[in-house]
Structure 1
Amino acid sequence: MLALSAGLLLEGSSQMRASLSWVTHSSQVLRAAHSARNHLQHAESGQRGFALTHNPEFAESIDAEIAGARGAANDLVALTTDNPAQNARAVQIRSLLMQRSDAVNEISRLARAGDFTGAEAAIASGRGRNLMLLVDARVSDLLNEERALSHQRIAAVERRLSFIRWLVALGTPITVITIAIMSVALIRRIRTPVEAMMTVMGQLGAGDRTARIDSDMASSEFQRLASGYNAMAEELQAAVADQAQSQEHLHKANLELSHNARVLRERGEVIELLGGMAHRMQAARTDEELAAIIRVFVPRVLPEIPGALYAHNNSRNLLVPIAAWGGLQVDSAGFAPDQCWALRRGQSHFVVEPGSDIVCAHVGDETHHYHCEPLLAGGEVIGVLYLKGVVGAESRFRLTVLAENIASALVNHRLQRGLREQTIRDPLTGLFNRRYMEETLALEISRASRSGSPLSLVMCDVDHFKRFNDDFGHEAGDAVLQAVAAEMRSRFREGDVVCRFGGEEFTVIAPGTTAAVLLDRVEGARQAIAELNVQQGGRTLGSMTMSFGIASWEDDMERDGSTLIKAADAALYRAKREGRDRVVVDGRAEAAA
């Protein structure tokens, strides 16, 4: 009955909602039709007023009103697509409205052009009035039809509301009476077995473990419940006999669970700590940042155990120290991989007491207990984690996860450094590339501007470089560029930034140096390059010369370095014009010197 009533109510409400939706739809159609006619009438009034009074204020709203009328007509067509007859009327209204709006536009155009006589003649022709009468007639037909539809839909809503009221008025009392009758019958059928069960439960609660339900429950459900209760009482009686043993087992299980929970909590804390450490190590850009992260986090993961992290230097085949903690002093020279048994064996190596195992050569005789954990990746030695102390069984998990995180971070750090070198180095000469030069120059200009220190820039290129490519081939040209790059790298200070600007052109950024001081250094590089005799493929390429231009930073130059580069480039071209194989200083730099 409830399902039937609910279904009828849902159906009635759904139909009523649909009817209300159609009523709302009719109101939208009525509103769109009124809006289209009103906008057109306002536009026509503005056009007549402008044409007759010659007052331009009447024409200000014509375009907006016509646009509003056309938009409303389009909305009317869209809203009546569900009713073919009304849609046909709406399409006809839109067509007539478009014709009338075009006529209004034409009269408005004549008036705006100053042809008020033509505008008045067009108005007097009566064609616009006839079109407007047609529009009014078609709109009235549509409105009358839509109002009739709206009245029908409202009547349908009222009928459905009346149906819902009668359904609620009759269905609710019938449902309530039926539920009451069923409830009384159910209560009577439940009361007897429940009272019998309550009596037996009271006996069991009072301590009588032999109390059982023997009476007829008069119901299969209650009979199963009584059987279940009797089985439970039997099991309870057996459980009481074994209570002491069960409590002991429970106590042991509780202790084990507490231990496991503590271990899991500690491991969770370690994993969270190592996650923060790994995140920071992945973001580290320099060896100093990586060492600082290691010194902060490793003592927190393995407290009270001093140690050091060594990374493998491939070029020197040495394990060099990156960071140490806990007051441990390490030799900065490092040690060879074969001096550590952990690296030899590829697994952990530790000594817990004198004579318990072989001592690594890098540890020395004074240490009687230590732990070496190799850091490997893909079978390649990444480094080793040296701990001066005994790592207990409860800390092995910490050490294993720590070693994995550090190894991963070292591999990532090595890859990042390699990628960084590839992005800032010219692959042919090994010098810094133009992108790095522009970034460094902007940075050095900022420093020089803040501190007031001098900053100079050298632009240079190989004289007649094209002949090497033409006479000997591009490989010979590459050999010349490599020889020049090597010589320039050796002739300038460590703080100077030597770059390949592009092609055969090179750039040197000299922080803290004036053009006068830099002149001798550049002159020495020029003479050394002039004395080079490049060999390539068993043949001598001959001597070469270079031209140099020097400029110094001034406060009125652009901060991005473009002005300084142009000044040095101008000095270079001056050296070219004066005969090449020479050094020319920019005029402002000479005056400052």
Structure 2
Amino acid sequence: MLCGILCVVMVLLAGLLLDGSAQMRGSLGWVTHSSQVLKTANRTLGHLQEAESGQRGYVLTRNPEFAETVAAEIAAAKHDAAALVKLTADNPPQNERAQQVRALVTERAASLEKSAAMTRAGDFAGAQASTATGRGRYLMLMVEARVGDLLAEERSLSVERMGAVERRLNYIRWLVLLGTPLTVAIIVIMGVALIRGIRRPVEAMMTVMGKLGAGDRSARIDVEMRSSEFERLAGGYNEMARELEAAVADQVDSEGRLKIANQELSANAQVLRERGEVIELLGGMAHRMQAARTDEELASIIRVFVPRVLPDIPGALYAHNNSRNLLVPIAAWGGLEVEQAGFAPDQCWALRRGQSHYVTEQGSDIVCAHVGAEADHYHCEPLLAGGEVIGVLYLRGVVGAENRFRLTVLTENIASALVNHRLQRGLREQTIRDPLTSLFNRRYMEETLALEIARATRTGSPLSLVMCDVDHFKRFNDEFGHEAGDAVLQAVATEMRSRFRDGDVVCRFGGEEFTIIAPGTSAVVLADRVEIVRQAISELMVNQGGRTLGSTTMSFGVATWEESMERDGSTLIKAADAALYRAKREGRNRVVLDARAEALSA
């Protein structure tokens, strides 16, 4: 009740104060407006008087200094007269007076400008005669009279408006003087009532809480609170006391359960520690697998880390070959020997089903064909990546429940690493292979040649280079089209790839030109091998689109690197290219050594 009365009084007081302040702001605005009207009217009259004085002084004394400000004062008088009309637009009587003032100012300004024009033309007699008519004096008196009327009325308005401001101030002062004590009185009454209302309930609650603190858990609050808030508080306390009493009664039982939970927590903590160690170990394994560049590096990492993740369990890792028709071994550990030929995917039940397959004892489940009938306990875990089976993890032994987590995380890491390794290898193949012939491209040839030159320099072993191209290659493109030319290049590339040694690097230099880097071989020894390749290519009959393109021949130039040559291989390439040019010039379809190699062979 008291709170409601206080709110009403404060809202009413605030509303009255806001209304009074708004009205006072309006009154002050009108006072300011009157001040601007008075100032503008006085300024208009002053400018016109200054202009008249300056013009009269010039006419009488003929001193041009008097006329310097006449034009500016006339313009200022006109401007202020126009501004006066705008300022009084809200007051029709005053606006009418302002318009009369502006008309008189305009007329007087015109007569002054006429007189100024005469004096500028040197007609001082005419200017004096115009002044002597008294018309200008009459106009000035009329202006002063109209301005006086306007000023008198505006001062009267200003006085009225200042009075309104005073009344508003007094109104606000009385509101503050009366409203503040009233508000304070209501607040004091409310405070006294509130203190009286809460003292008894608080004392009752403090008494019961003291008993509870002393150990009397049956103590309850049963005093009438006379307040819904305190009633809810007392009810909450009583409910809490009952729950506390029940909790104490169950303490022995809770301690027993807590002991069991603590034991379980200790066991779980041990499992978490072990899993943390496994995750840390697998993290190191994953980082190394992600950095592996070759299949052998990947196999080495697996052989080192998998036995640490699954100790005392030998096994092997298989992955699909490029054709996906075989699972070939990547790595084996724990003394397990596997067939390097691998096995077909349908020989493993884990790959067929896409889930774990294991035999814990003889006759417990179907045995995979790749394991053999003699195996009575093993585990096959498929490697999945993006919903696709990419390999299988074969373990010779039983994977217990304690190692299931290790196996799951291990297979996920290995699967991810295999996919990443294949992507890296595929991207590298794309950057170093010629897309048409699948031979190494020129960029790879230049990098490899520089490396082989550095190796030959360190070891002193020979290094030779072959430059060759297809004879009359333009004929195939002109007669049969570019697709036929591509078929010739592919056939030639296939033949060279099958004829040269595994250690030789066969590259497409560009167009119909090819390059072969032959480490550990001199030009004389290499020439015999190149002659065999040349003979095989001359016997090729290339077919394309159901038609025979005819025989194909190639010319070869062979050179051997020497210490005097550039280390980047450019000199060696020029030497082999010069030998190729000689082969072309001497009739094509032949093998020619460069001059240095010929001199050594002789």
- TM-score, normalisation: structure 1: 0.62
CA distance in 2, matches of 1:220, 1:258: 49
Q: 1:235 aligns with which of 237, 243, 246?
A: 243
1:406 aligns with 2:419: no
Number of residue equivalences = 411
- Which residue does 2:15 correspond to in 1? none
1:424 aligns with 2:442: no
| 1:224 Cα deviation from its structure 2 partner | 7.4
- Which residue does 2:253 correspond to in 1? 245
| 1:223 Cα deviation from its structure 2 partner | 8.6
CA distance in 2, matches of 1:194, 1:265: 53
1:540 aligns with 2:548: yes
1:209 aligns with 2:217: yes
1:317 aligns with 2:325: yes
Counterpart AA for 2:303? R
1:331 aligns with 2:348: no
| 1:334 Cα deviation from its structure 2 partner | 1.9
Counterpart AA for 2:582? R
CA distance in 1, matches of 2:225, 2:285: 68
CA distance in 1, matches of 2:245, 2:537: 105
Counterpart AA for 1:409? A
- Which residue does 2:118 correspond to in 1? none
1:490 aligns with 2:492: no
- Which residue does 2:537 correspond to in 1? 529
| 1:372 Cα deviation from its structure 2 partner | 0.8
CA distance in 2, matches of 1:446, 1:295: 33
Distance 1:190 1:465, change over 3 A: same
Q: 2:559 aligns with which of 543, 551, 560?
A: 551
1:292 aligns with 2:286: no
- Which residue does 2:39 correspond to in 1? none
Counterpart AA for 2:463? L
- Which residue does 2:568 correspond to in 1? 560
Cα RMSD, aligned residues only: 3.3
| 1:211 Cα deviation from its structure 2 partner | 4.3
- Which residue does 1:62 correspond to in 2? none
- Which residue does 1:363 correspond to in 2? 371
| 1:463 Cα deviation from its structure 2 partner | 1.7
CA distance in 1, matches of 2:338, 2:590: 52
Larger mean Cα displacement after TM superposition, 447-456 or 273-282: 273-282
Structure number, greater radius of gyration: 2
Q: 1:386 aligns with which of 372, 383, 394?
A: 394
Q: 1:512 aligns with which of 511, 515, 520?
A: 520
1:443 aligns with 2:424: no
1:375 aligns with 2:394: no
CA distance in 1, matches of 2:273, 2:203: 50
SS in 2 for 1:358: coil
- Which residue does 1:94 correspond to in 2? none
CA distance in 1, matches of 2:548, 2:223: 120
1:589 aligns with 2:597: yes
Superposed CA deviations along residues 289-348 of structure 1, whole A, max 9, x for unmatched, are 111221222223323322111112243722221111222222222222222221222221
SS in 2 for 1:372: strand
| 1:243 Cα deviation from its structure 2 partner | 1.6
Superposed CA deviations along residues 339-376 of structure 1, whole A, max 9, x for unmatched, are 22212222211111222112222222333211111224
Superposed CA deviations along residues 233-283 of structure 1, whole A, max 9, x for unmatched, are 332222222222222333344344444444444444434433333333233
Q: 1:276 aligns with which of 281, 284, 288?
A: 284
Counterpart AA for 2:509? F
Larger mean Cα displacement after TM superposition, 548-557 or 299-308: 299-308
CA distance in 1, matches of 2:499, 2:369: 42
- Which residue does 1:481 correspond to in 2? 489
SS in 1 for 2:397: coil
CA distance in 2, matches of 1:531, 1:249: 90
CA distance in 1, matches of 2:451, 2:560: 15
CA distance in 1, matches of 2:262, 2:333: 39
CA distance in 1, matches of 2:565, 2:398: 63
CA distance in 2, matches of 1:536, 1:228: 96
CA distance in 2, matches of 1:250, 1:469: 88
CA distance in 1, matches of 2:308, 2:596: 59
| 1:457 Cα deviation from its structure 2 partner | 0.6
SS in 2 for 1:239: helix
| 1:429 Cα deviation from its structure 2 partner | 1.9
| 1:466 Cα deviation from its structure 2 partner | 0.8
SS in 2 for 1:579: coil
SS in 2 for 1:305: coil
Counterpart AA for 2:376? H
Q: 1:472 aligns with which of 450, 456, 480?
A: 480
1:572 aligns with 2:580: yes
Distance 1:218 1:350, change over 3 A: same
Counterpart AA for 2:300? A
Counterpart AA for 1:458? V
Distance 1:530 1:327, change over 3 A: closer
User: Any unmatched runs of 5+ in structure 1?
Assistant: 1-184
Superposed CA deviations along residues 515-562 of structure 1, whole A, max 9, x for unmatched, are 111121122222332333333333332333322111111222222211
| 1:204 Cα deviation from its structure 2 partner | 4.0
SS in 2 for 1:247: helix
User: Any unmatched runs of 5+ in structure 2?
Assistant: 1-191
Larger mean Cα displacement after TM superposition, 482-491 or 494-503: 482-491
CA distance in 1, matches of 2:444, 2:300: 27
SS in 1 for 2:469: strand
CA distance in 2, matches of 1:216, 1:538: 111
| 1:190 Cα deviation from its structure 2 partner | 12
- Which residue does 1:99 correspond to in 2? none
- Which residue does 2:96 correspond to in 1? none
| 1:478 Cα deviation from its structure 2 partner | 1.7
- Which residue does 2:132 correspond to in 1? none
Q: 1:341 aligns with which of 341, 345, 349?
A: 349
CA distance in 2, matches of 1:458, 1:192: 112
Q: What are the residue-to-residue correspondences of 1:59-98 with 2, within 5 Å?
A: none
